[in-house]
Amino acid sequence: MVAPLRIRVYGDPVLRRVAEEVTDVDGAMVELCEEMLTAMYDAPGIGLAAPQVGVSQRFFVYDFGEGPGVLVNPEITESDGEWTYNEGCLSVPELSWEIVRPRRIHLRGYDLHGNELSIEAKDLEARLFQHELDHLAGKILLDYLDDDQRRAAKRILRERAMSGPSRPPRAGDGLSLP
């Protein structure tokens, strides 16, 4: 039996690395996507980017309620509007903040079969994709906070790291973004 994937948390350097383009989708990558989906549903979350499981490559898995999907080498080509939403991240467990992002995006990428995708997304879907794209760029939610918020968040994360393994997620975490 395969050991479940470990979701990397804040402090792990892989979360700060800019992920590399995927040049070839092989069987190992397809299998990894399945394992990532399992880890994402278990968390629970609605998206998980490869760097969050220690793989510095440009793809992520997601399911915002309409079934599982994978996006390979995604790129946002247009965005507009503005929307504030309470956003969380599986790599910064149990914390969330009001984050402003564009409400609508146009995104291009590929599926696992190499088909080109062109997606118009808005609201939660658009937010999820922007959040995952950030992970591929080595960016995390803390980068959006002001100095006071960031200091408070780091203090909580430090205290948590010292008190050992993380506690089980609270009920209600199901809506948090990865």
Pick the catalytic residue: 35, 82, 132, 159?
132
Amino acid at site 16:
R
Least distance from Zn ion to the Cβ atom of residue 44, Å: 13
The Cα 46–Cα 62 span in angstroms is 5
User: In this chain, which stretch among 2-10, 68-76, 87-95, 103-111 interacts with Zn ion, using CB under 5 A?
Assistant: 87-95
CB of 89 to Zn ion, least distance (A): 3
Place of tokens 């994978």: 70
Q: How far apart are CA 100 and CA 83, in angstroms?
A: 6
Burial (Cβ within 10 Å: 0-12, 13-18, ≥19) of residue 27: exposed
Residue from 19, 40, 89, 105 touching Zn ion (CB under 5 A): that is 89
Stretch that binds Zn ion, among 5-13, 31-39, 82-90, 116-124 (CB under 5 A): 82-90
* 66: annotated active-site residue: no
Residues acting as catalytic residues: 132
